[in-house]
Chain A
Amino acid sequence: MNAESNLDAADRALINHLQGGFPIVEEPFAEVAKHLDMDEEEVTRRLSDLLARGVLTRFGPMYHAERLGGGLTLAAMKVPDDDFDAVAEAVNAQPEVAHNYARDHAFNMWFVIATETPERIAGVIAEIETATGLTVHDMPKRREFFVGLRFEA
């Protein structure tokens, strides 16, 4: 992806500023504009462009899954290399699997399960185990020390 090289100083300032708190006031973009010494129209135009180019994946409230009453866990599997793509397909077919990453380790498939209710997590895990014949290692968080994305643009 070459989007990075096409960011000018104003884009970078905007990205860095908007990773913090966006104001909850009637005219929030005007407030951001004032802070960055731009006009409001420039802020929304640049944001729209950054979203269209995929530099930003979304803009809005980030919700905390468990506090919405849902279930969330990280799960890991050891998948034989020859079966990897078929297993990935079976795991991804579950709508409640939100993210899935291949990693270079014996535990080579890591995915996040997000459900409407905490009780449903066990059901999704059982369905994946039945579909793949593999053990799913459930690693729900016991404690969160930090979650934040602070990527300097």
Chain B
Amino acid sequence: MNATPLDAMDRRIVVATQGGLELVSRPYAAVARHVGIPEAEVIKRLKRMLADGVIRRIGAVPNHYALGYRANAMTVWDVADERIEALGTKVGALDFVSHCYHRPRHLPEWPYNLFAMVHGRDRPVVERHIDALTRLLGMDALGHQVLYSTRILKKTGLRLVA
């Protein structure tokens, strides 16, 4: 990806919007007033950052607990490194997987290199999803574990300092 490097004005826009957009008819005009450039320029820069992947998307972030998704499991799988590209792509396409990554093993204690977050309304639902994952990965999974979250110790999100 040939992303355009962020300049100082891009960073001002990031800082002005990372807490959220104003719920007004012209939210990008509100950002524009805040950073001191025309609305059209804010729109142009946001479109570029979206196209470059600096912005993943613009929209609403639900509190999944409030939507009834109370069971949240981090599933971790040990798969051959040469198969991980194909397998990770398949796992990431499942609609109950919210995040899917290749991460390094920490041998001998931690042989798992494919991580998939699975969400459901309760544990039986999550367990059915994990069964589906087990079937999908089949013999490619040399081992796996399921780590349920038991407590949120901190959640502040990412913050760029102005």
Residues of A within 8 A of B (CB): 1, 3-4, 14-15, 18-22, 24-30, 40, 44, 47-48, 50-51, 53-65, 67-70, 72, 74, 76, 88, 91-92, 97-107, 109-111, 114, 116, 137-153
A62 to B55, CA, bound (A): 6
Known A19-B62, A30-B25; 20 more pairs at CB < 8 Å: A1-B66, A4-B68, A15-B62, A22-B57, A24-B43, A26-B26, A26-B29, A44-B23, A44-B25, A55-B63, A55-B67, A58-B60, A58-B61, A61-B57, A74-B115, A92-B154, A98-B154, A144-B100, A146-B99, A153-B62
How many residue pairs link A and B with beta carbons under 8 A? The number is 239
Known: A64-B56, A102-B149, A102-B150. A47 touches B20 (CB 8 A): no
Q: Chain A contact residues: over half helix, strand or loop, or mixed?
A: mixed
- Tell me the smallest distance from the CB of A62 to a CB of chain B, in Å: 4
Q: Is the CB of B53 within 8 A of A62?
A: no
Residues of A near B60 (CB, < 8 A) are 14-15, 18-19, 22, 47, 50, 56, 58-59
Q: Is the CB of A63 within 8 A of B14?
A: yes
State the interface size on chain B (CB cutoff 8 A).
77
Residues of B within 8 A of A (CB): 3, 6, 14, 17-21, 23-29, 39, 43, 46-47, 49-50, 52-69, 74, 84-85, 88-89, 91-93, 95, 97-104, 106, 109-110, 115, 119, 145, 147-161
Q: Is the CB of B28 within 8 A of A26?
A: yes
A61 to B49, CA, bound (A): 10
